[in-house]
Structure 1
Amino acid sequence: MFSFISRRLLAGLGTLLVSTFAMYLLVSASIRPFEDLEQSTNPNKLEQIAQRRELLDLDTPAVIRYFKWLGDFVTGDLGVGWRSGQPVSNMLQGAVISTIQLVAAATVIAILFGVMVGIVSALRQYSTFDYLTIFVSFVLYSLPAFWVAVLLKQWGAIGFNDFLKDPSNSPLVIVVAGLVIGLLCMLAVGGTVKRRATTFAIAFAATAGAILYLQLSNWWLDPNLGPVIILVTGTALAFAITALTSGLKNRRALGASLTTVVIGLALYYPLQSLFRMPFSWMYVLGLALVTVAVGIAVGYLWGGPDKGISARAASLTAVVVAGMIFIDKVMSLWPQYMGAPAINGRPIATIGSSTPNLGGNFWVQTLDTYTHLLLPTLALVLIQFAGYTRYSRSSMLEVMNQDYIRTARAKGLPEREVIMRHGFRNTLIPLATIVPIDVITLLGGAIITEQVFARPGMGTLFIRSLRGAEIEPVMAYLVIVAALAILANIVADLIYAALDPRIRVNA
């Protein structure tokens, strides 16, 4: 393992050196640092051109300038943007944080829903749900990113902000929403006519009931989860997580998951007192680690022949319950946020990464960050979701037609175990190549999405610096993206080895 990583890192450094050399020469040849002066009518234009030439050291050959830049970069001096006057390190810091905020949520959501829908579509091959999934995924995959972003601005921000002035739904809207969700659930579950009808009725009633509850409780203007919703949702998710990870017949895993729900509910009110103290993301990270540790401990305390399965189910449930408690606290600031003069009753933002002159504590700032992330994250999710759905569907179809799947079924294994333990694990192998590369691509900046929503991310930094002929920020950007791409390939190889025992990284 160590020798493999060492070899790949050395090869990556060589690749990085060659690529930065080529990119420096290309960028030097493509930028136009005198464009504004060439169009100037000042009588001292030639003198200004000479001063800028000296400032940028353009009389020195590009090859020598590259090695000067490389020497400074290796020693930690990233340079200064000559036009903006800002250190490149400061410019990168803000851009990287903004991009990570956007990419992290979009990638996780797209992977979870894309893989889930793709696998269900593969298991229901040639059904109406399968054809519908294929149609929707191809439509989303072919849509231009800027067009999706503009539509979300119109209907997701402007339309929703107008809705908040009078947050009520007509009976027709409630019925249509219930019908759509009921049909989707019915098509996804399938089965006999009785099972389909039961699924449709339950989904329709749940959807209509949820919308009515939101409307009658004035939830849109004062949203919250509260202990009751957390208990009901956490219990349902505990059953779902246990069913997927071990099966409901594993009573110890189910008991461990339900125990973490009870612990989370018991800590709900004590945590409210903790949340009133000065808070930061370091505290959130610490509490997240404690949550995982408690879930693992509960799983092992329940014991059984396979404590690891119980610990896995309990820790996943604990993370979900803790996430709901955190979201509940953030949502409790919604009335205060809506009433702020800087918000003016229109909370869903269309541009930027934060609201100027908002003020407020950690929770208000967190809510403001979420409202600014909502639309660009949704735009990326819709486009990525289509790709992951197609990849996971085709991979699952290939795996489920293998001989070892037929053998597992012939041995009498439960269908859940055949799908989750034998099929799903091998379905992830092709995705192990796609996901790391996609993540790195997005970390390089979702350029179109950032431009439409005016987010100061890595893509915006690259475009602005390239237009401004600032080579230092452009090169810093390219080095980061290239280095992350090399690391992504190494991570993909390690994931291969973790998913498939036949693959050895030290071979």
Structure 2
Amino acid sequence: MASFIVRRLIASVFVLLAATFLMYMLVSLAGDPLDELRTSNAPNKQELIDARIKLLNLDVPAPLRYFLWLGAVLRGDFGISIQNQSVNALLANALTSTITLVTTATVVAIILGLAVGIVSALRQYSGFDYGVTLVAFLFFSLPIFWVAVLLKQYGAIQMNNWLADPVIAAPVIVIGALLSGVVWMSLLGGSLRKRLLVFAIGTVATAGVLVYLSATRWFADPSIGIVVFVILSVGIAVAVTAISTGLRNRRALYASLVVVVIAIALYFPMMYYLLSGMTLPLFLGLAALTIVVSGAIGWLFGGNDRGPVIRTAIIVGVLTAGLLALDKYMSYWNAYTNSDRVNGRPIATVGASTPGLGGNFWVQGIDLFTHLLLPTIAIILISFASYTRYSRASLLEVMNQDYIRTARAKGLTERTVVVRHAFRNALIPITTIIAFDVGAIVGGAVITETVFGWVGMGRLFVDALRVSDPNPVMAFFIVAGSLAVVFNLIADLVYAALDPRIKVS
């Protein structure tokens, strides 16, 4: 394993060196960094030209200039832009912005795409499968700039207008309830009588929830509350246990319920005391403590087979802790919305933060969320489609293999067949796609960043290329190329972890 990694890294270094040399030559030949100065009417034009030539070493031939640039990069210096700004600083700001934006969207798209694709494969040729196929192809064919503009119009402008008086209209309640009933009916399947019963229950339940949210003006001052927190936490414990180990594993179920009981007991102390003076280090410390305590509970209940029980308890602990944090965020929604800087229009359309907002940890978190919401949705809608189709096709191929029929013939439960046997092997081809996508996220979503005013890696690259500024272009290329190499290496290692038959040696 170690020798494989070392060989790949050594080969990758030579590939990156060759690629950066070719890229530097192309950038040098693509344009003239002095073009804007040559056409200017400044009285000191020649002095400005001489200063830029000295700044960028333009009096040195391009092949030799590459080695001057490479020597500086090896010392950790990406050089100076033509605006006499440190490329290191530009790169740090752009990389932070891109990671914040695109990583969130990519992770959510992967989780939703895999989940929906798997369910679609298990319900092949059902109404749900046909519906998901239609939606996936629809999203896949939409141009990202058009989606972004529509989101700004209806997801921000119209939504902000509605939030001033968040009453849900009767037609919206009826249509939303009927659509919910159809989704649940197609998802669960079964006989006609069972599907009609599910449709009726789903429709009535959704209508009741929407009427309650409208009557209480919940969206003006949202909260979860102890009652809903208890219901959702118990539901999380049961659902996670059913998927992770199956409800027949009583040890896992009891461990999950104990984690939930502890979370319920800590609800009021956490909400009104411990979480009030929150900081980022404290937040990360509490998250780590949640994992440790949940894992310890799983270890105590695990018996002879502790691994699955510990895993289940940790997942339940993280989700219930996240639910508690979400409730705390909601408690500051009204204060954020009515602040002078936001002025009753919380859904942001431009930028990564509200200038001069101030506020505590929770208010800053809400501000980050409102600025991430629309660009994240735009990226998710496009990425979701491809992940859904890939995961569906991969799982369908695996489900038709002989070893799946053998597993069923042995009397294993359907959950065990799908989760332990089929799903793991179905992830192998998807891993390649995810590795390429994650490695490419630093390239930035150029169109999305432009529409929503985010200054990320994509904007940095395009703006520098437009004015023939070589150092920012090369800094972008180094980061993007390095991450592409690293994530391809990670993909190879994940192959071996998913399938023991694959040997990285």
TM-score (norm 1): 0.96
1:200-234 per-residue CA deviation (whole Å, 9 max, x = no partner) reads: 12322332222122222221111111222221111
Q: Is the 8 A contact 2:113 2:391 kept in 1?
A: yes
Residue 502 of structure 2 corresponds to which residue in structure 1? 503
Q: Is the 8 A contact 1:103 1:439 kept in 2?
A: no
- Displacement of 1:493 after TM fit? 0.6
The letter of the residue matching 1:11 is A
Q: 1:503 to 1:335 in 2, by over 3 A?
A: same
1:136-165 per-residue CA deviation (whole Å, 9 max, x = no partner) reads: 111111111111111111111111101112
Residue 171 of structure 2 corresponds to which residue in structure 1? 172
Taking the aligned partners of 1:101 and 1:40, their CA distance within structure 2 comes to 38
The letter of the residue matching 1:358 is L
Residue 61 of structure 1 corresponds to which residue in structure 2? 61
Residue 457 of structure 2 corresponds to which residue in structure 1? 458
Residue 344 of structure 1 corresponds to which residue in structure 2? 343
* Structure 2, unaligned runs of 5 or more: none
- The 5-angstrom pairing of residues 274-289 of structure 1 reads 274-277=274-277, 279-289=278-288
Residue 3 of structure 1 corresponds to which residue in structure 2? 3
Residue 258 of structure 2 corresponds to which residue in structure 1? 259
Residue 403 of structure 1 corresponds to which residue in structure 2? 402
Taking the aligned partners of 1:15 and 1:228, their CA distance within structure 2 comes to 58
TM-score (norm 2): 0.97
Q: Is the 8 A contact 1:349 1:372 kept in 2?
A: yes
Residue 111 of structure 1 corresponds to which residue in structure 2? 110
Q: Does 1:34 align with 2:34?
A: yes
- The 5-angstrom pairing of residues 273-312 of structure 1 reads 273-277=273-277, 279-312=278-311
Residue 486 of structure 1 corresponds to which residue in structure 2? 485
The letter of the residue matching 1:409 is R
Residue 71 of structure 1 corresponds to which residue in structure 2? 71
Q: 1:288 to 1:331 in 2, by over 3 A?
A: same
- Displacement of 1:8 after TM fit? 1.0
The letter of the residue matching 2:409 is A
Q: Is the 8 A contact 1:167 1:215 kept in 2?
A: yes
Taking the aligned partners of 1:206 and 1:10, their CA distance within structure 2 comes to 59
Q: Is the 8 A contact 2:177 2:206 kept in 1?
A: yes
Residue 434 of structure 2 corresponds to which residue in structure 1? 435
- The 5-angstrom pairing of residues 128-277 of structure 1 reads 128-272=127-271, 273-277=273-277
Taking the aligned partners of 2:169 and 2:142, their CA distance within structure 1 comes to 31
Q: Does 1:22 align with 2:14?
A: no
Taking the aligned partners of 2:24 and 2:361, their CA distance within structure 1 comes to 41
Taking the aligned partners of 1:502 and 1:221, their CA distance within structure 2 comes to 55
- Displacement of 1:55 after TM fit? 3.1
1:41-86 per-residue CA deviation (whole Å, 9 max, x = no partner) reads: 4565455434433332212111111111111111112222231x33
The letter of the residue matching 1:20 is T
Taking the aligned partners of 1:43 and 1:363, their CA distance within structure 2 comes to 53
The letter of the residue matching 2:38 is E
The letter of the residue matching 1:69 is W
- The 5-angstrom pairing of residues 302-451 of structure 1 reads 302-451=301-450
Match of 1:244, SS state, is: helix
Which has the higher mean CA deviation after the structures are superposed, 85-94 or 316-325?
85-94
The letter of the residue matching 2:190 is G
Q: Is the 8 A contact 1:190 1:196 kept in 2?
A: yes
Q: Share of identical aligned residues, percent? A: 53
1:456-493 per-residue CA deviation (whole Å, 9 max, x = no partner) reads: 21111212222233222221111000000000111001
The letter of the residue matching 2:370 is T
How many residue pairs are counted as aligned between the two chains? 504
Match of 1:213, SS state, is: helix
Q: Is the 8 A contact 2:352 2:454 kept in 1?
A: yes
Taking the aligned partners of 1:288 and 1:2, their CA distance within structure 2 comes to 32
1:69-106 per-residue CA deviation (whole Å, 9 max, x = no partner) reads: 111111112222231x3322221222122111112221
Taking the aligned partners of 1:257 and 1:265, their CA distance within structure 2 comes to 12
Which has the higher mean CA deviation after the structures are superposed, 212-221 or 18-27?
212-221
1:3-46 per-residue CA deviation (whole Å, 9 max, x = no partner) reads: 11111111111111111111111111113312322332456545
Taking the aligned partners of 1:285 and 1:129, their CA distance within structure 2 comes to 39
Taking the aligned partners of 1:285 and 1:14, their CA distance within structure 2 comes to 39
Match of 1:220, SS state, is: helix
Match of 2:220, SS state, is: coil
* Structure 1, unaligned runs of 5 or more: none
Taking the aligned partners of 1:259 and 1:26, their CA distance within structure 2 comes to 62
The letter of the residue matching 2:6 is S
